């Protein structure tokens, strides 16, 4: 027994006849190192630790078990205290915002009362006025209007520093009136309720020129860092192609004025891209708040002008920006205002709502800024290493590159080397060719062993189509989970091998020829789980003999976003690119994919009588912060625009063949998506509580009930808490159970059909990819032998206790567990449906 001073004495008491167990400083240090590597070791792992670490050899395994239990308890208490402090800071900040909003509304009420009395007095005076007096008043009014027309309202200013400073100060005043005042009538954004777990208080404009959105939130980053991040638009605004600083100079009051030229991607092939010529003013207010405001420079202001650029429509940015105030206890309280006129007259009427909706602006710009700040704050506050041992910043760069590459394909700018090829008599598919791919893929691509050595380029096939009554999130989720419904494995293999030096034969179209399944390997996700980055492993077992040269191990880097059906106005995307297994940071990416953008005139849901309900802002819980969204009402239709773009590499002597193949393949994909859309549209499927199960299994609520009832029937005890009665509560409790619970089919080759969150974590997979994992794959040799001997007992007795052992995750990592239970799950007719497993006290070795 080690006897030295340490902090573990009180927490590890009553282990040896009531005496405190004390550890030496060296032992505590060794245990802390082990805890950092494996906070929840199994009994096998603890015995292994004692053998590997001589300094712990005189400590009993049971004492080490208690030490780890106490250490986990302290860590849990520390995290809970930190969480409560963060919630308290956020509630305090929201309370401050609510008080400011209340003051603003009271001033607005006072102003309306005054105007009401004034107009009432005017009406009374007009009713007793004589005809002559009225005529004289009209003449006087006409003269006054003529004088106003002769006198410029905004006298032109020069383009000097003094003139630009005047425009900047004017912009600052107008921006602050929108951020904190009543210059714009703000209403609550549909589907959003602020709360401590919500992204913030998000509102949209009603009745103003153009589209506008405002957001208020607390972020755990210093004001100067917040300003630096937000000013770098290309790092967080996916639709931003470039921002060029043309001129920059400082002002006498310590501020900075910049003249910017910004280009924005078009979201679909049916609209031209936008650009902005703006002035950005950064300054510090008297109260220490940092302000970054911006507006377009137009001819009426007398500032410097920027000539129009071909293929771009010049949009106007009204005074917008960021008000960043330091918050007590650290962090920043930020107000964001985005106000733009996107020139909707320049697009087709069917997609005009995209440019007339403040909700779309809020989702794509305002909330995107807040999400990026929250993501950065989370990464800074904790040392997070995600999938494949990558840092969050590296994975975030992959996401940005995927989006940028897909946007470049959709827009096809000539300055990137794109040119249009002739069609085959039908204009449903557009074919573009790029013979200078290094402009898109980066300079490192030109020096690699890939395409340029073969003397080729890139061909892009793209098309857009209008969908009705198909929620964008539902369609993208289906395309992600059921790749075999639209993809062809031969084309995936062709794309994967196109980066290699060995030439490949151009494949022929065989839709439905997806020879194997897909395994989704998670890499990273954002704070609110609105975006997922993952690696897709394609198992192509059905390749023909003529395709033997193609790789059988194919990987795709995939980005999926906008799968929340309750996010009104959100864009849904599924973008992927072939990669090799190394996933090097400088790997060239050639993205293809789908983008579905809602295009419904009722997205804003605005009403003149609608008010901002901030009294409900204090509801706690992320699941309850959003209300269900009805697309277009009960009987009405809603529309969305689907844009598809696929890119292929080619060698010069195969250019025409690849172009023909790309055109035919895209048409087959479009036909498949149309078939899927028709199947999804009538169902009007809504969002479900908890996870979505793979096709062919019973509903999640029913399966959860069967699992719990069978456990109670066979073992005589409750699996969940006794007060869990409602089906939704059963599923939710089962989903968040601390032990790994999985369901396996009763086939000759058992495969998993369901797992709770702990089970998915243990297998390192997703619910979609779970059905591609067999029980045999996760068990080691001892586990397989034990299961073969226990399966008869499970089917006859109804359950069996399994000894401690080791499983293997889908990523190949061993996970040990103390013990496990397997039981037979019966359906309502008391017939066997599947086998359930519960692995207790598991941890990665």
Contacts of 689 (CB under 8 A, 6+ apart): 700, 701, 728, 731, 732
Last residue of a domain, one of 345, 361, 382: 382
CATH code of residue 731: 3.30.450.20
How far from chain centre, in Å, is Cα 249? Answer: 37
253-278: pLDDT as tens digits: 889 999 999 999 999 999 999 999 99
In tens, the pLDDT along 739-750 reads: 999 998 887 778
d(CA 682, CA 634): 13
Q: pLDDT tens, 279-312?
A: 999 999 998 899 999 999 987 766 788 899 999 9
Residues 238 and 377 in one domain: yes
Query: Same structural domain for residues 335 and 402?
Result: no
367 and 400 part of one domain: no
CA dihedral (826, 829, 830, 831) positive or negative: negative
Give the pLDDT score at 552: 61
- Within a domain: residue 654? yes
In this structure, are residues 150 and 144 in contact, taking their beta carbons and an 8 Å threshold? no
Question: Which residue segment(s) compose the domain that 645 sits in?
Answer: 386-436+456-489+519-540+552-601+638-681
Convert the pLDDT of each residue in 418-428 to its tens digit: 999 887 667 78
Question: For residue 283, what pLDDT is reported?
Answer: 95
Per-residue pLDDT of 398-438, as tens digits, reads 999 999 999 999 999 998 889 998 876 677 899 999 987 66
Residue partners of 728: CB distance under 8 A and separation at least 6: 689, 690, 701
What are the angstrom distances between the C-alpha of 130 and each of 125, 135, 136, 586? 10, 9, 10, 82
Q: Let me know if residue 9 belongs to a domain.
A: no
Q: What is the tally of structural domains in the chain?
A: 4
- Dist CA 827 CA 702 (whole Å): 9
DSSP string, 306-367: ----TTEEE-EE-SEEEEEEE-TTSSEEEEEEEEEE--GGGS-GGGTHHHH-HHHHIIIIIH
Return the C-alpha torsion angle 477, 478, 484, 486, nearest 10.
-100
**pLDDT bucket at 201, cuts 50 / 70 / 90:** confident
At residue 641, the pLDDT reads 93
Average pLDDT, the chain: 78
Confidence of residue 652 (pLDDT cuts 50, 70, 90): confident
Integer-rounded Cα radius of gyration of the chain: 31
Strand locations in 546-699, DSSP E?
Answer: 553-561, 572-579, 592-598, 639-651
Which range, of 178-187, 201-210, 598-607, 832-841, averages the lowest pLDDT? 598-607
The pLDDT confidence band at residue 20, using thresholds 50, 70 and 90, is low
Give the H/E segment covering residue 145.
helix 131-150
> Which pLDDT does position 441 carry in this prediction?
60
Average pLDDT over residues 677-693: 54
Q: Is residue 632 part of a domain?
A: no
- What tokens does 169 get? 């100060």
- CATH number (domain holding residue 242): 3.30.530.20
- pLDDT tier for residue 722 given thresholds of 50, 70 and 90: low
Residue 245 and residue 101 share a domain: no
Q: Is residue 147, in this structure, part of any structural domain at all?
A: no
> Is 496 among the domain residues?
no
Co-location of 428 and 474 in the same domain: yes
- Report how far residue 251's alpha carbon sits from residue 161's, in angstroms, rounded to the nearest whole number: 8
Examine the domain organization and report whether 236 and 303 are in the same domain. yes
Confirm whether 145 is domain-assigned: no
Section 149-172 average pLDDT = 68
Q: Is residue 817 part of a domain?
A: yes
- Least confident range of 330-334, 525-529, 723-727: 723-727
Least confident of 149-153, 247-251, 469-473, 599-603: 149-153
Domain final residue pick, 347, 365, 382: 382
Specify the pLDDT at position 10: 42
Cβ contacts of 373 within 8 Å, gap of 6 or more: 217, 219, 221, 226, 229, 230, 334
Rounded average pLDDT over 510-531: 69
- The answer to whether residue 598 scores a pLDDT higher than 50 is yes
**CB of 701 within 8 A of CB of 727?**
yes
Residue 749 forms part of a structural domain: yes
- The CA-to-CA distance between both ends of the chain, in Å, stands at 27
Residues 312 and 392 in one domain: no
User: Confidence class of residue 560 from pLDDT cuts 50, 70 and 90?
Assistant: very high
Give this prediction's pTM. 0.69
Structure confidence at residue 144 as a pLDDT band (50, 70, 90): very low
In 3D, which of 374, 621, 320, 592 has the Cα closest to residue 463? Answer: 592
Confidence band for 591, pLDDT divided at 50, 70 and 90: very high
* Same domain (yes/no): 791, 670: no
Nearest Cα to Cα of residue 651 among 492, 387, 381, 453: 453
Picking from 382, 403, 422, the residue at the C-terminal end of a domain is 382
**352 and 207 housed in the same domain:** yes
Predicted pLDDT of residue 496: 67
- pLDDT (0 to 100) of residue 384: 56
Looking at the structure, tell me whether residues 108 and 179 fall in a common domain: no
Query: 301 and 216 in one domain?
Result: yes
pLDDT of residue 322: 96
Domain co-membership, 390 together with 375: no
Question: Which three-class secondary structure state does DSSP give residue 794?
Answer: helix
């Amino acid at each position: 027994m080690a006897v030295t001073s340490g902090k573990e004495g009180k927490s590890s008491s009553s282990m040896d006849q009531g005496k405190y167990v004390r550890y030496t400083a060296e032992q505590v240090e060794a245990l802390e190192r082990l805890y950092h590597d494996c906070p929840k070791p199994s009994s096998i792992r603890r015995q292994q630790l004692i053998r590997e670490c001589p300094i712990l050899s005189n400590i009993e395994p049971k004492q080490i078990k208690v030490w780890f239990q106490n250490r986990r308890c302290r860590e849990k208490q520390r995290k809970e205290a930190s969480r409560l402090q963060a919630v308290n800071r956020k509630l305090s900040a929201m309370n401050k915002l609510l008080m400011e909003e209340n003051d603003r509304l009271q001033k607005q009420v006072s102003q309306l009362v005054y105007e009401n009395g004034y107009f009432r007095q005017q009406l009374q005076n007009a009713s007793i006025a004589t005809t002559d007096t009225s005529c004289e008043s009209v003449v006087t009014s006409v003269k006054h209007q003529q004088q106003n027309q002769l006198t410029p309202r905004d006298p032109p200013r020069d383009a000097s520093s003094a003139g630009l400073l005047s425009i900047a100060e004017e912009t600052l005043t107008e921006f602050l009136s929108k951020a904190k005042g009543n210059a714009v009538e703000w209403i609550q954004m549909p589907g959003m309720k602020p709360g401590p777990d919500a992204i913030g208080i998000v509102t949209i404009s009603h009745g103003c020129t153009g589209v506008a959105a405002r957001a208020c939130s607390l972020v755990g980053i210093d004001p100067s860092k917040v300003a630096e991040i937000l000013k770098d638009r290309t790092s967080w605004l996916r639709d931003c192609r470039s921002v060029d600083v043309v001129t920059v100079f400082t002002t006498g009051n310590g501020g900075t004025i910049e003249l910017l030229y910004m280009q924005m991607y078009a979201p679909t092939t049916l609209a031209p891209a936008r650009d902005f010529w703006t002035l950005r003013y950064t300054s510090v207010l008297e109260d220490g708040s940092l302000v970054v405001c911006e507006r377009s420079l137009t001819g009426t202001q007398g500032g410097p002008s920027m000539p129009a650029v071909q293929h771009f429509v010049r949009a106007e940015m009204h005074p917008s920006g960021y008000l960043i105030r330091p918050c007590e206890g650290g962090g920043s309280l930020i107000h964001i205002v985005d106000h733009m006129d996107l020139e909707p007259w320049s697009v087709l009427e069917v997609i005009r709502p995209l440019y007339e909706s403040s909700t779309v602006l809020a989702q794509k710009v305002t909330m995107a800024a807040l999400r990026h700040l929250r993501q950065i704050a989370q990464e800074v506050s904790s040392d997070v290493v995600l999938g494949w041992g990558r840092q969050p910043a590296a994975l975030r760069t992959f996401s940005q590159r995927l989006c940028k590459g897909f946007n470049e394909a959709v827009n096809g700018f000539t300055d990137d080397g794109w040119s249009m090829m002739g069609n085959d008599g039908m204009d449903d598919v557009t074919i573009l060719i790029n013979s200078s791919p290094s402009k898109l893929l980066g300079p490192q691509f030109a020096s690699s062993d890939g395409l340029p050595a073969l003397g080729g380029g890139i061909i892009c096939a793209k098309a857009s189509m209008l969908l009705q009554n198909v929620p964008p999130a539902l369609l993208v989720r289906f395309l992600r989970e059921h790749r075999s419904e639209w993809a062809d494995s031969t084309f995936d293999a062709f794309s994967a091998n196109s980066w290699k030096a060995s030439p490949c034969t151009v494949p022929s179209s065989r839709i439905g020829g997806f020879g194997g399944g897909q395994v989704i390997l998670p890499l990273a996700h954002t704070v609110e789980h609105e975006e997922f980055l993952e690696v897709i492993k394609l198992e192509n077992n059905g390749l023909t003999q003529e395709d033997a040269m193609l790789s059988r191990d194919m990987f795709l880097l995939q980005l999926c976003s906008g799968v929340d059906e309750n996010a009104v106005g959100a864009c849904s995307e599924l973008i992927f690119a072939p990669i090799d297994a190394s996933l090097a940071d400088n790997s060239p990416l050639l993205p293809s994919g789908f983008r579905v953008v809602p295009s419904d005139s009722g997205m804003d849901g605005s009403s003149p009588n609608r008010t901002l309900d901030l009294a409900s802002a204090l509801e706690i819980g992320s699941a309850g912060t959003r209300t269900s969204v009805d697309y277009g009402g009960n009987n009405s239709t809603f529309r969305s625009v689907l844009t598809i773009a696929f890119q292929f590499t080619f060698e010069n002597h195969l250019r025409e063949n690849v172009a023909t193949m790309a055109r035919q393949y895209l048409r087959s994909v479009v036909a498949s998506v149309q078939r899927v859309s028709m199947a999804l549209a009538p169902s009007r499927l809504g969002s479900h509580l908890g996870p979505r199960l793979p096709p062919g299994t019973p509903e999640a609520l029913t399966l959860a009930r069967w699992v719990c009832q069978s456990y109670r029937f066979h073992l005589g005890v409750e699996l969940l808490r006794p007060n869990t009665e409602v089906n939704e509560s059963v599923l939710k409790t089962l989903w968040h159970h601390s032990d790994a619970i999985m369901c396996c089919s009763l086939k000759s080759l058992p495969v998993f059909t369901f797992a709770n969150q702990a089970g998915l974590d243990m297998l390192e997979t997703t619910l979609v990819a779970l059905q591609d994992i067999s029980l045999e794959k996760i068990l080691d040799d001892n586990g397989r032998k034990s299961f073969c001997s226990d399966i008869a007992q499970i089917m006859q007795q109804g359950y069996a206790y399994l000894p401690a052992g080791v499983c293997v995750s889908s990523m190949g990592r061993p996970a040990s567990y103390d013990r496990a239970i397997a039981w037979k799950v019966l359906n309502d007719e008391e017939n066997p449906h599947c086998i359930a497993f519960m692995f207790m006290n598991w941890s990665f070795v």
